[in-house]
Chain A
Amino acid sequence: MAITVYISCDSGALALGAERIAQAVSREAHQRGIDIRLIRNGSRGLFWLEPLVEVQTDQSRIAYGPVQGHDVSGLFDSGFLNGSPHPLFLGLTEELPFFKKQQRLTFARVGLTDPVSLEDYLAHDGYRGLHNALTISGADIVRQVTDSGLRGRGGAAFPTGIKWNTVLNAEADQKYIICNADEGDSGTFSDRMVMEGDPFVLIEGMTIAGIAVGATQGYIYLRVEYPHAHKALDTAIAKAYAAGYLGQNILGSDKTFDLEVRLGAGAYVCGEETSLMESLEGKRGLVRFKPPLPAISGLFGKPTIVNNVISLASVPIILDKGGEYYRDFGMGRSRGTLPVQLAGNIKYPGLVELAFGLTLRELLYDFGGGSASGRPIKAVQVGGPLGAYLPESQFDTPLDYEAFAAIWAVVGHGGIVVFDDTVDMAEMARYSMEFCAIESCGKCTPCRIGSTRGMEVLDDIIKGRELNKNIPLLRDLCDTLLNGSLCALGGMTPYPVLSALNHFPLDFGLTDQADAA
C-alpha cells in the first residue's frame, strides 16, 4: 500500500520552499519506484520547522524538518518512509512540545487534513455543528453562541452572541453574513492559516450564522494579498455547493445560504466593518458614522452580521459540543481559546492556540524560545499596528482582554511581534504615524492631517530638536487623535506611539521617565 506523506501548502510553508520539496519528494519516489500518496495539508504552525515533511506510520505521523532540497535523497536513503532516524528526524509531530502543550479547538483540523477534501472534513467531525443547528431554532443557536462566551476575535472583542441576537430580532426581507477576512494587522496570520488549512470550518460557521439569524447571503471579504486562501476558499465553496451544504435546501432542510468571496484591494481601513461594507457596495472605503449599527442597517442598508474569520470558525465546535464546553476554557470574561501568532524576532515563530490566561512571558519564552537573534527581547507589540508596545516589566500580563485593557494595551487579533534590543522605539513610533497617514480613509482631520504632522514631529524628535517643545506637541497630537477620530485607525495610533514614548523614553532622547511626561 502507498505510504502517505504530508507536505504543507500553507503560504508560510510555501514561502520557505515547500513547493520545491513536494516536487522533489514526488520525483525521488517515482525514480525509486516507490508508491507514495502525497497530501498537501495545512501547516501545523511550527514555522521554524517548515518545510516540514510528515510520514504516516502505524503509530501516528513522524516529522522531519526543516527539509531543504538537498536533504531529500538522503531522507529516502535513510528510510524516512518507515520513520527511520535521520538528522532531521523530529519524532511524532503531536509529541513536539510546542504542539503538544496547545489546546486546539478552532485549529483542531489544521495540518491534519487535506484542506479542500470534504471527505476529510467529514471524517474529522466536520459539519456536526451544522447538523445540530438544523435541528434547533435560530434563537437556540444564538443562545449556544451567547453561552459560549465567544467574543469577536477581529479586535474589538464584542460578544458574538449579542451581535447575532440583534440581527435575529431585526425584521427585514434580506439579511447578510459578512466574514471579515481582511486580516490587515501586521503580525497576524491565523485567519490566513484557517482559510488555507481548513476552509470548510469557516464555510460551516457562516452557514450556521445564516441559518441562525435568517440570512441567506454571505460574503467573505478577503484581502487581495491572500491568493492561496482565495483558491482554497473557492475550491471548498464549490465542493460544499455540489454536496448540498450550500445553496437551497441545505441538507434537505428548507434553509438557503449562498456564499461568495469578494476581494479587497489593499486598503487597511477596509478591515473596519463599515468601511468594509462600503467597499463591498463598490465604493471607496470611507468609514460610516455609527449608529446605525451594522446589525440593524448594514450592507445595502440591511441587517448584517460582520464577524472575523476566527470568530466564525469557532462556531462549528460550539454548535457541536455546546456553548458550555467552549466556555470552560479561558479566564475571567475571556472565554474559550485564542490562536496566538508569534512573529517578528522570535526563535520559534508560529501558531499557538491556547485557552486565555497564559502570560506573555510563557508565550515568549516557553513557546517562543526567546528572540531569534539571541539578544534580549526589548519590546513586543501585541494586537497589530494599533496595539501598544509592551516592555519586559509587563511580560507577566496574562492574555485576557481585561488584563490588557488595564495596562492600556490590547489583545486584538492575537498577534505578538517581538523586537530585540537593537530596535529604536522612536523609529517604531514614527512608523505608526506614517502607517496611519498612508492608510487613513481621510474622513477625519486629526487622522488625515494629524498623522502626517506626527511624523514630522517625530522626525524632529529623532534628530534631537527642541525636545522640550516637541514631546508635549506629540502628546497633544495623540490626544487629538484619541478624541477626534471616528474609527480606531486614528483613535488607536496613539497606543503604539505613546506606549513607545512612555516605556522607552531613552530612545526619544530623554534621560528618564519623568522627562517623557
Chain B
Amino acid sequence: MTETASMQTTLQDITTRLKDKPGALLPILHEIQNALGYIPKDSITFIASELNLSRAEVHGVISFYHYFRESAPGHHTIHLCRAESCQAMGSKKLEAHVKNRLGIDFHETTPDGKFSLEPVYCLGLCSCSPAMQIDSEVFGRVSAETFDRSLVEIGA
C-alpha cells in the first residue's frame, strides 16, 4: 500500500469508529495525532466532511490547541517545563542549555529529524522541578548533565 493510501485507511478507521460520539472532533484529532504523529493538512477536508463541519472550523480547532500539530515532529519530542515551580529551580538555565545542545528553539525540530522541542506549562512534577518529558517518559530534577545523559540513553 502507498503511504497516502495507508494514511487514508488510518483516517477512515479512526473517524468511522469515533464520529458518532458526542463532541467527536477532539477524540478524532487525538487518535490521528497518536497514529501519525501530527494532523496532516490533507486530512482536514476528509475530517470536515465526515463530521459535517467546514474546513475552517476543523482548522480553527487544530490551531487553537497547543498540543495539536500540523507538521511531522522529530523522532522524539522533548517537552520542557517553563512554569513557575521549575523556574524556581533553575529551568531557565536548563532551557538555555537544551536549546544550545540541540541547536534549536522551541517549536523547532533538529535538522536530522531526531528531536522536536516544545515548551510545556507544568507537568504536575513540581515536587521535582525542573521537569521534562521525552515522548512518554518523565524526568525530574533535571540538570544539564542528566539532560545530556538522557539523550544518550534514548540513542541520540
Contact = CB atoms under 8 A, between A and B. Distances in A.
A283 interface: yes
Given A11-B138, A343-B85, A423-B88, A265 B124 contact: no
B26 A262 contact: yes
Contact of A192 (B85, B86, B124, B136): B124
A418 B128 contact: no
Interface of B is mostly: mixed
Interface stretch (B8-16, B17-25, B97-105): B17-25
A234 to B, nearest CB: 13
B25 to A, nearest CB: 3
A184 interface: yes
A183 B22 contact: no
B84 A285 contact: no
B24 A282 contact: yes
Interface residues of A, number: 59
Interface of A: 11-12, 14-16, 45, 47, 50, 183-189, 191-192, 224-228, 262-268, 279-285, 300, 341-345, 349-351, 372, 381, 385, 415, 417-420, 423, 428, 431, 435, 438-439
30 contacts: A12-B140, A16-B128, A185-B122, A186-B83, A186-B85, A187-B83, A187-B84, A187-B85, A188-B122, A189-B124, A225-B120, A225-B122, A226-B124, A263-B27, A263-B30, A265-B30, A265-B67, A267-B67, A282-B24, A284-B60, A341-B127, A343-B88, A343-B129, A344-B89, A350-B127, A385-B121, A417-B88, A423-B88, A428-B84, A435-B121
Interface of B: 22-27, 29-30, 51, 60-61, 64-68, 79, 83-89, 120-129, 131, 133, 136-141
A266 B66 contact: yes
Contacts, number: 150
Contacts of A282: 23-26, 51, 61
A265 B84 contact: no
Contacts of A281: 22-23
B140 A280 contact: no
A264 B29 CA distance: 11
A15 B86 CA distance: 14
